[in-house]
Structure 1
Amino acid sequence: MSFNFKEIATASMVLFAVIDILGSVPVIIGLRNKVGHIQSEKASIVAAFIMVAFLFVGERILSLIGIDVNSFAVAGAFIIFFLAIEMILGISLYKDDAPESASVVPIAFPLIAGAGTLTSILSLRAEYAVQNIVVAIIVNIIFVYLVLKSSRRIGNLLGRIGLGVIRKIFGVILLAIAVKLFATNINQLL
């Protein structure tokens, strides 16, 4: 088992962009104002468990239904592409109902460990070593926890415009990742 810093850094950036916890600060603040306390520790631990479990079991689930990792990675490239379009253009292609409580369900899933994150994890698995992806997940969960704990301060510090700029920058990064992921895996399908 050897750790590769480049793989860890790249996987961390991909997950950071997909999770988009800084872009979610307005949603988190809205939840906090609506329901009061957010359980940052519980949400972070549950999200980490979901991501790591999907990293190890996700491929088996796919093989049960006859889908290979490369096909899933190409599908993931499309999901990441649409997430990037949402971030860059400031539109919402998918709108979920507002939750009534800020428990594990709206924060850990789907806000942190949503469809885009899980798709990205399996897509990363097609290219990187598992131990490097686990480290990237841990790095992101630590960051997510810190953001959840200090979301109100971050929102005040960056303001609406600052959060919007960060969201658009990570949208462009995600778009480039989607193109690379598609190009890498489509060749193996054809």
Structure 2
Amino acid sequence: MYILCIFNLNTITMLSSFSFQQAISAFLILFGIIDITGSIPIILNLKARGKTIHPMRATLISFALLLVFFYAGELMLQLFDIDIESFAIAGGLVLFIMAIEMLLDIEIFKYKGPSDEATIIPLVFPLVAGPAAFTTLLTLRSTFDSVNILTGLSLNMIYVFFVLSATNVIQRILGKSGIYIVRKFFAIILLAISVEVIISNIYGLTNNC
């Protein structure tokens, strides 16, 4: 009975803290950071190389990782004595390798697991639940109420599932030539983003020293 009362009180507190404006703001910020739309060429490239992607599994695992990091991210990094800049640089290096693969039509990252799938790496990490999304969630905690951040995050995960489920349709619309052109264009964009992530966080590390 006591636990039920606490649960009800927490629920009422969360509902009273809900702000439509904050939820939309959190959604838009995370939408720009996760940018699953911009990752479509990468996803199509993975499928063209015979990689298997499971939309529902990718969405649920990404959501779970983001939730864990939202509540325990700082503690986890402190536990392993890793600062957020180093974590972001690691993710930036993975993005850099992926951009080089797309740009030069080579395969550096090779997954030898069952079904040769790419659901966990690189789709879940670092494309959806990457360093940028992790650091953004930690930043939003200092500005918005948790219920509004979680609402924005949930809406983003619904959109992620929709995009991952529709990649086959997008592939048919673009065709092989269209996919090739889009892949090369976004390879340059992804390369620039990865370099920016790496350099900015190296700068942050040097300032902290």
Normalization by structure 1: what TM-score? 0.67
Q: Tell me which residue corresponds to 1:57.
A: 72
Aligned: 1:118 with 2:140 = no
Normalization by structure 2: what TM-score? 0.62
One-letter code aligned to 2:200: T
Q: Is the 8 A contact 1:87 1:168 kept in 2?
A: yes
Q: Is the 8 A contact 1:26 1:155 kept in 2?
A: no
Q: Tell me which residue corresponds to 1:94.
A: 109
One-letter code aligned to 1:113: V
Specify every segment of 5 or more residues in structure 2 that has no aligned partner in the other structure, as ranges: 1-18
Q: Determine the C-alpha separation between the residues in 2 that align with 1:4 and 1:40.
A: 23
Rg bigger for which structure?
A: 2
Q: Determine the C-alpha separation between the residues in 2 that align with 1:28 and 1:181.
A: 26
Deviation at 1:52, TM superposition (A): 3.2
The secondary structure found in structure 2 opposite 1:66 is coil
Q: Is the 8 A contact 1:73 1:122 kept in 2?
A: no
Q: Tell me which residue corresponds to 1:169.
A: 185
Specify every segment of 5 or more residues in structure 1 that has no aligned partner in the other structure, as ranges: 33-37
Aligned: 1:129 with 2:140 = yes
RMSD of aligned Cα (Å): 3.6
One-letter code aligned to 1:96: Y
Deviation at 1:112, TM superposition (A): 2.6
Q: Is the 8 A contact 1:77 1:182 kept in 2?
A: yes
**Residues 51-92 of structure 1 deviation map (CA, whole Å, 9 limit, x = unaligned):** 332344343222111111122223333222222222222222
Percent of aligned pairs sharing the same letter: 27
Residues 61 and 181 (structure 1), Cα distance of their counterparts in 2 relative to 1, 3 Å cut: same
Aligned: 1:24 with 2:35 = no
Matched residue pairs, number? 176
Q: Determine the C-alpha separation between the residues in 2 that align with 1:176 and 1:26.
A: 18
